[in-house]
Chains A and B, each alone.
Chain A
Amino acid sequence: MNAIETRGLTKTYGDFTLGPLDLALPGGCIMGLVGENGAGKTTAIRLLLGLTKPDGGAATVLGAPAGPDMRAVKQDIGVVLDDVGYPAGLTATQMGKVLSAAYKNWDMALYERYLHDMHVPVDKKFSALSRGNKMKLGIAGALSHKAKLLVLDEPTGGLDPVVRDEVVDIFSDFTRDPACSILISSHIVSDLEKLCDYIAFLHRGRLLLCEEKDRLLEEYGVLQCDRATLEALDPRTVLGRRLTPYSAEALVRRDAAPAGTQLRPVTIEELFVLLVKEDLQ
């Protein structure tokens, strides 16, 4: 069963339209939602959690239709929103009690262990915590009720590189259980590259591509050449380009590259940047 599935999901706010979004996150996998600020990542997550009504299309989460009646399925979903959103006056200890009243499978010992391991002050009000500590508290809250799906909106934003690495390891551990999946949005692509099985690129509300990460890395390559060689290439094979005064780089599909050319491997970050730049031109 797919943990998340969307078909033609759309949402319009003024002059911004998200979608149509067709995504499928298989159970036991991690999908990274990559996009620049304002690309529609948060809107997509809100639609999946039933926080916002779609204008068109449909989505299912853990087999249940996404919408306002997701009460039962939310027992199995752990969520970290981009600004966490816990009440300003509550401490981590109080928040643990609140969450234990909400979730049937709440594990207080696990929650306290996460807080201890991530060095989150337990007696400080949420409003007095740093952005990093707020995020760590949100992550501890999302991980302590034996969720089957984690939905994380920019969870590594504001964390220093060491903590970010620890958090990425925690998320990796979470999906050791084949029943557990993660949807994570971020514009720190290096984190997603380490973590994700699937990558979905969003740009200005449109889904540029959604593919298995390993397949993306296998299918695409970067051709380093001079400008004249780049100009001579069939434009249909060039998916993105980067020009400097002395050289040129082109993102190409390996199977469409001219015979005999040497391609270097592409990183997910490069793939995203080159695709977006090409789209803007």
Chain B
Amino acid sequence: MKALLLADLYQLWTNFKFYAVFLVVALGIASFGDGDNLGTFFPMYAVFMCSMIGMSLLQLDEASRWNMCAQTLPCTRRDQVTDKYALTLGCFAATWALFALLYVLLAALGRMAWPMVAVQSLLMLAVGLLAPSVSLPALFRWGSAKGRVIYIGMVVLVVAGVGGAVGGLINMVNVDLSALPLSLIAALAVLVPVGAFIGSWALAVRWYEKREL
């Protein structure tokens, strides 16, 4: 798998240098926001973009047929999937850490409320892990052309389905969200994206091992 990671790092350097520039710009804009509204869009967009890097690399692999060639090396399909997930996680972790550090600094300087640091960090975690959790299995199962379309459809279904189900459940059992302990909400906000990411990896391995290339 070391070989696959190395190939992807070279590809990353060649094709995604612009992302580093965008990240600097997004950090700059976020640091010059005002109060608790420190440009949520740019941090979220940066995290979303970096979470899509694995997907873009997979598309490049398919275009050059490296996905096929890599299987002639002493690597398994499981390695190929794990490589993309590891890379996505690495890129996300780096981006998340930079923004989290910025938020902590801003809070220490009194320009951001501490609870907002937690909320923004948890939101970034959710966006950064849930987006690839949906996109990567679709791409590994159906390939980049079909997979992208299916991914968009799945996002719509997941957002509508989960939103509807959670809303309905809350109404049904008459839950007052504000009454829930913050520690429980925080724990769920961490565990759900992390669990989804791990489950997504297992599903992608299973699907990719069965796929006819």
Residues of A within 8 A of B (CB): 49-53, 68-69, 71-72, 74-75, 77, 79, 81, 83-90, 94, 97-99, 101-103, 125-127, 151
Contacts and interface: CB of A to CB of B under 8 A. Distances in A.
B76 A99 contact: no
Contacts of B213: 51-52
Nearest to A125: B14
Q: Is the interface of B mostly helix, strand, loop or mixed?
A: helix
Contacts of A97: 6
A99 B61 CA distance: 16
Contacts of B180: none
Q: Which 6 interchain pairs have the tightest Cβ spacing?
A: A85-B69, A102-B3, A89-B14, A79-B72, A85-B65, A101-B3
Contacts of B36: none
A68 B74 CA distance: 11
Interface in B64-79: 64-66, 68-69, 71-77
B131 to A, nearest CB: 24
B10 A89 contact: yes
Nearest to A71: B74
Nearest to A103: B74
A69 B77 CA distance: 10
B60 interface: yes
12 contacts: A68-B76, A68-B77, A71-B74, A81-B68, A81-B69, A85-B64, A85-B69, A87-B10, A88-B60, A89-B15, A102-B3, A151-B72
A126 B76 CA distance: 24
A74 B60 contact: no
Given A51-B68, A69-B76, A74-B72, 4 more contacts: A52-B213, A81-B68, A85-B64, A87-B10
Contact of A90 (B2, B7, B77): B7
For chain B, give the interface size range. Answer: 20 to 34
SS of A interface (majority): loop
Among B2, B63, B69, residue most surrounded by chain A Cβ atoms (within 10 Å): B69
A68 B64 contact: no
Contacts, number: 81
Given A68-B209, A87-B60, A87-B64, A98 B3 contact: yes
A72 B75 CA distance: 9
Nearest to B74: A74
B71 A87 contact: no
Interface string B3-43: 10011001100110000000000000000000000000000
A87 B73 contact: no
A88 B68 contact: no
Contacts of A94: 10
A68 B212 CA distance: 12
Contacts of B64: 85-88, 126-127
B10 A49 contact: no
A94 B12 CA distance: 13
A85 B68 contact: yes
A113 B65 CA distance: 26
A72 B68 contact: no
Contacts of B69: 79, 81, 84-86
Contact of B11 (A52, A71, A89, A151): A89
B74 A102 contact: yes
Count chain B CB atoms within 10 A of each CB in A49, A87, A97 and give the residue with the most.
A87
A75 B72 contact: no
Nearest to B65: A85
